[in-house]
Amino acid sequence: MKSFYAGLTILALALPASAHDLGFAGLLSSNNKEELDELTLSVGQPIADGPLMLKSGTAYEIEIVSDGTGELALEGAGFFRAIWINEIVINGLEIRPLGVDSVEFDDAGTMEIEFIAIKPGRYELRQPGSTGDGQRVEIVIQ
């Protein structure tokens, strides 16, 4: 009987890989994610060229790059609560958070955020304490 359960365990562990090999894909598979233009954090430079237009129910991946010219952050609690974050990757380390209010770079580096847009509306990410339009990016979820 133990070998029967051991066989079932091996089969259960093998199914996700087998299903993926057969072309079955979930919402977060690489085939279903849209890559957004990267956001750039640099002292005195705009974060983005224009607003980000997203669709509710769609998976996205975005890179946030800091050039290290200053200790820079992005805050946007409203936006982070309107999405479901699958993971944040920093230096190859994956973080799976329950929630985020802001992200901050002390040095140069890249952060990748993989998420699903959920709640339609207008949001923004901005550098804390800044007032210039270039230090914010508008995000619209349709």
Domain count along the chain: 2
b/e for 14-47, b at 16 or more Cβ within 10 A? eeeeeeeeeeeeeebeeeebeebeebbbeeeeeb
Mean pLDDT of the chain: 85
Residue 54 above 90 pLDDT?
A: yes
Same domain assignment for residues 66 and 2: no
Same domain assignment for residues 73 and 41: yes
User: What's the number of CA atoms in the CB half-sphere (13 Å) around residue 80?
Assistant: 16
Pick the closest to residue 31 from 22, 19, 40, 23 (CA basis).
Answer: 23
CATH number at residue 85: 2.60.40.420
Q: What is the pLDDT of residues 58-107, one digit of tens each?
A: 999 999 999 999 999 999 999 999 999 999 999 999 999 999 999 999 99
Same domain assignment for residues 70 and 16: no
More confident residue, 83 or 132: 83
Same domain assignment for residues 67 and 96: yes
Sign of CA dihedral 44, 49, 50, 55: negative
Same domain assignment for residues 80 and 21: no
Same domain assignment for residues 120 and 74: yes
Q: Give pTM, 2 decimals.
A: 0.78
- Write out the residue range of the structural domain in which residue 92 sits: 32-141
Three-state DSSP state, 51: coil
Same domain assignment for residues 5 and 41: no
Predicted confidence at residue 133, as pLDDT, reads: 85
